Structure 1
Amino acid sequence: MAKVSVSEADYVVICGFLSLSVGIGLYYAVRGRRRNTREEYLMGGRRLHVIPVTLSLCVTYLSSTSFVGMPAETFSSGFTYAFVSLGCAVAMFITVFTVVPMMHSLQLTSVYEYFQLRFGSVVLRRCISVVGMMQNGVHDIGGIGLTWDLAVQGGRVPPVDFSADPRVRHSFWSLVVGGAFMFMAYIFDQSAIQRMCALPSVRQAKLVYAATGVVVSIYVVSISFLGVVAYSYYTVQGCDPFKAGYLKNRNQLVPYFMMEIFNGFPGMTGLFLATIFSAGLSSVSSVINGLAANTIEDLLRPVFDRYNTTEKGKIFTAKMSVESWGTKFKLVGIGLQATLIH
């Protein structure tokens, strides 16, 4: 097994992807320049459609972290991690019949508005809003049969453990029940509530979450299986990349594995890396948009009301808020990158 690297064609693909992302942003910035209300800018006028909102919600949940981390987890600990997909399905089922009807009827822009409506306290809303905003910074093997058999023999497909012992790393209950609570927490995130309330009807909002549950569950199982494939591949190769010294951190596994199996196919590694960047950008853009909504609705609204700020001024402030949060995320990313390098 030889060391692999990114080719010139891969860099071309990555640069092309980034250029496309910038182009789409500029296109919609120009097309939507006449939006004259905060409702239009932050919520799409609450007239968005099911399919784009479903896709937007899914890519918000499916971050680059999960794309890299889940296969590494199953590579190290086994395929039982995929049971977290059942937790996702449970969370979305509960949401469709409880959270969606309540939140959509309130027509919120910021999720933290709920606390003011529920408890009648502006101070509580401001405090929780600040805390929430701070928190958001984050074939070669021989066929499917042999792949699965090698994973079973290597202990990567262990029997389901129904133990209630919380010290067990991947028990059925910790994955399903814990996964359900994890996704329920995501559902009450600003990004999720903002999309829910951007839909014109409760029925469409329910449909979005039902579809999201299916898509995310399939994604979790598929991406977890990728770790099983990687394990079987390196078993056949007779070389563990960690023991060989090629990899130091298990989060390096998926990029390295893809670079190796796509070696000899110019541009394919670049396409994969662009996919990771896409997942990262989708999550960051969702967070930035949500933070802008929180800034305008939770922190600056009293100032706007006091000084009778025009709608045009509010929209300008919202755009500057997006720019400010985006710059902050960029600086944090540069700092983390520098820390990792040194």
Structure 2
Amino acid sequence: MDKTEGKVYFGAIDYVVLGIMLTLSMAVGLYFAFYGKGQRTKEEYLLGGRRMSALPVCLSLFATFQSAISLLGLPTEAYSYGTMYIYTAIGISLSSLFAVVSVVPLLYPLRLTNVFQYLALRYKSNFLTKFGVTIEIVIHLSYMTMALVSPALALETTAGIPLWLSVVVIGGIGTFYTTIGGIKSVIWTDAIQTFFMFIGIFTVLIKGCIDAGGFTNVWSVSRETGRIILNDISIDPRVRHTVWNLSFCYAFFSYSSHFSQSSVQRIISTRSIQDAKRVHLFKVPITVLYFASLLMTGLVISAYFHITRCDPLAAGYISNTNQVMPYFVLITLSFLPGFAGLYISSIFSGALSTLSSGINSLAANTVDIFLMRFLHGKSEFVITSTVKLVVCFYGFAAVCLAYLAKDFQGPVSQINYTILAPSVGAQLGLFLLGAIFPQANSIGAVVGCCSGFAISLWQTLGASKFGHPTKPLPRAPADRCFAENTTALPTSVNRSTFLTSTEYSLINDALTTDDIKFTGTVNDNKGFFFYDLSYVWTPVIGLFVTVGIGLIISVIANSVMSTKHRPKAKYIFPFCRWFWYSGRDTVATDIDMESISGEIK
């Protein structure tokens, strides 16, 4: 790996390591396409014949929603704002535990092939079902676009890998093995890619910690620079991150993913309801370990740049914070050829897992909801071939959208959350309204969903234009980046290069008060308060508006309608049935798939 004038580049061995990982992903798809049994029917192709075991499904589900976005965004978050983001792991864990007692016992017994078939059965509305699928398509395409373009933009500047090459390689390979191998290839490839992701994370974390002088020194420097923040309990909704808003809001944001086709498709592919529950339980410790490791990596990066007094942003080596992680990787792992390629492979793995899962689930949605009427009576070969063509279409669409996306500033994890939040809150409200309140009808659901989306989108757009975002923590100095017009960036440091407490004080004293903005503080409110709310509240606003307005409209509509639709108890959350239904109501588990098809025609 060459490194001159502050630039770092991929070497030949790094490309070989990356090529091995990509070849392995394609090999898994080829295996299930030509040697694996059970790809002849739509159910086998999309659900693996409902015979998947819990652990690979858990790893696949984890990899789908913890993509290259988090691999880049979480270290950037700790580097820029500190460690408060760790409380999102609590929210995500709570959502998984709640899914065990709500989503799984509600949807698994119904034996559906698509989560939006639930809306057809619950609301008896063709329009509402297609409306929900449309929202899902918007969410998944947005998420896949971010997952593709984020690492491509970062690697283009830091490693010299052209953006078009990253996007085409990830998009092409992900579409290829998903098309030919179906859900089995997606799940097992995701499991392998999860292994790559953790190997890459721990390699960088351990080597970076050594280069920064050890864990004790990293922690000491992080405290000196104000990045160890774990006790912000403010109740001001304008504070960017607090214990409460991260735990509470991320619980809802993550819970929405359990009603996505990507999640439900994996849950119902398992062998039993016990395995489906284990998937969510296994995911909790993996998620906590993942978040803690990446945030610690962000602290290591910040400490390293403070110790060497050579911040790449301040020196102009990179253009935004989302490039900090790959830049640091290429510096700290340059001691052995191929190690940087290993970590970049983990970034590619994260993007591949998101893309493959997304296009597979979008294909299932499109065929089951929009095309099944035209495919009715056709052979399984025709139906399965149609699904594969739709997979290719969405893969191509994701690549094209990635090309159209612009460069982003700020932590990519926050950007992704902000983009998805309006749709996510409204969609979650659509499901919760139906699963909690039997009074809810299709009229109230549509009005409530549109209202929730509109208000949360208003808040998002208003905040981006008129809000007062929190400033990041001060960066490291860059006065040691240059020496006689040449740059010799150290790949490791010794204790003689550490900054003393006096030097830290001089650096911080040189910064004006306006330069320092810690996570817990709030800028003077000069505009509409609604626009200064923390970005984490956006999906929660959309959720409660959707449920509140949807329930009110439903009650009004029921009072004037001559016939009222009351759903069967099996379409309501199990813990709500005792309240709304008598013990004489039966909860059947057998579903007539022909009746489902009839509901969505």
Same fold (TM > 0.5): yes
Q: Deviation at 1:19?
A: 2.1
Residue by residue, what CA displacement relative to the aligned partner does 1:1-60 show, whole Å, maximum 9, x if unpaired?
Answer: 943221121112122222222222222211247632111110001111111101111101
Answering whether residue 326 of structure 2 is matched by residue 255 of structure 1, we say yes
TM, length-normalised to structure 1: 0.94
Q: What is the CA–CA distance in structure 1 between the aligned matches of 2:395 and 2:118, rounded to whole Å? A: 26
Distance 1:23 1:159, change over 3 A: closer
Answering whether residue 314 of structure 2 is matched by residue 314 of structure 1, we say no
Q: Deviation at 1:190?
A: 0.9
| 2:436 alignment counterpart | none
Residue by residue, what CA displacement relative to the aligned partner does 1:119-174 show, whole Å, maximum 9, x if unpaired?
Answer: 11122112211221122112011111111111011000025111111111111111
Q: Deviation at 1:64?
A: 0.1
| 1:328 alignment counterpart | 397
* Partner SS for 1:108: coil
Answering whether residue 13 of structure 2 is matched by residue 14 of structure 1, we say no
1:159-198 equivalent positions in 2, closer than 5 A: 159-198=230-269
* Partner SS for 1:35: coil
| 2:156 alignment counterpart | none
Q: What is the CA–CA distance in structure 1 between the aligned matches of 2:400 and 2:115, rounded to whole Å? A: 27
Answering whether residue 147 of structure 2 is matched by residue 78 of structure 1, we say no
RMSD over aligned Cα, in angstroms?
1.7
Q: What percent identity do the matched residue pairs reach?
A: 35
| 2:373 alignment counterpart | 302
Task: Give the counterpart of 1:213 among 280, 284, 287.
Answer: 284
1:270-281 equivalent positions in 2, closer than 5 A: 270-281=341-352
* Partner SS for 1:248: coil
Residue by residue, what CA displacement relative to the aligned partner does 1:279-325 show, whole Å, maximum 9, x if unpaired?
Answer: 000011000110111111111111222xx211221111111111221
Q: What is the CA–CA distance in structure 2 between the aligned matches of 1:282 and 1:159, rounded to whole Å? A: 31
* Partner SS for 1:94: helix
* Partner SS for 2:365: helix
* Partner SS for 1:6: coil
Q: Deviation at 1:330?
A: 2.4
| 2:313 alignment counterpart | 242
The question of whether the paired residues in 2 share the 8 Å contact of 1:54 and 1:212 is answered with yes
Q: What is the CA–CA distance in structure 2 between the aligned matches of 1:196 and 1:158, rounded to whole Å? A: 36
1:40-189 equivalent positions in 2, closer than 5 A: 40-137=44-141, 138=143, 139-189=210-260
* Partner SS for 1:242: helix
The question of whether the paired residues in 2 share the 8 Å contact of 1:63 and 1:279 is answered with yes
Q: What is the CA–CA distance in structure 1 between the aligned matches of 2:272 and 2:25, rounded to whole Å? A: 30
Q: What is the CA–CA distance in structure 2 between the aligned matches of 1:32 and 1:287, rounded to whole Å? A: 22
The question of whether the paired residues in 2 share the 8 Å contact of 1:108 and 1:194 is answered with no
The question of whether the paired residues in 1 share the 8 Å contact of 2:50 and 2:268 is answered with yes
Q: What is the CA–CA distance in structure 1 between the aligned matches of 2:387 and 2:334, rounded to whole Å? A: 45
Task: Give the counterpart of 2:363 among 292, 303, 317.
Answer: 292
Q: Deviation at 1:241?
A: 1.5
* Partner SS for 1:216: helix
Amino acid at match of 1:148: W
Q: What is the CA–CA distance in structure 2 between the aligned matches of 1:134 and 1:245, rounded to whole Å? A: 36
For the pair shown, the structure with the greater C-alpha radius of gyration is 2
Amino acid at match of 2:378: T
Q: How many residues align?
A: 337
Q: Deviation at 1:264?
A: 2.4
Q: What is the CA–CA distance in structure 2 between the aligned matches of 1:39 and 1:23, rounded to whole Å? A: 22
The question of whether the paired residues in 2 share the 8 Å contact of 1:4 and 1:263 is answered with no
Residue by residue, what CA displacement relative to the aligned partner does 1:261-294 show, whole Å, maximum 9, x if unpaired?
Answer: 0112101111111110010000110001101111
* Partner SS for 1:161: coil
* Partner SS for 1:136: helix
**Which has the higher relative contact order, 1 or 2, with Cα contacts under 8 A spaced 6 or more apart?**
1
Q: Deviation at 1:334?
A: 3.7
The question of whether the paired residues in 2 share the 8 Å contact of 1:50 and 1:207 is answered with yes
Residue by residue, what CA displacement relative to the aligned partner does 1:99-130 show, whole Å, maximum 9, x if unpaired?
Answer: 11111111221111111111111221122112
Q: What is the CA–CA distance in structure 2 between the aligned matches of 1:98 and 1:171, rounded to whole Å? A: 27
The question of whether the paired residues in 1 share the 8 Å contact of 2:6 and 2:317 is answered with no
Gaps of 5+ in 2: 144-209, 408-601
* Partner SS for 2:8: coil
Amino acid at match of 1:248: S
Which stretch has the larger CA shift, 10-19 or 65-74?
10-19
Which stretch has the larger CA shift, 95-104 or 32-41?
32-41
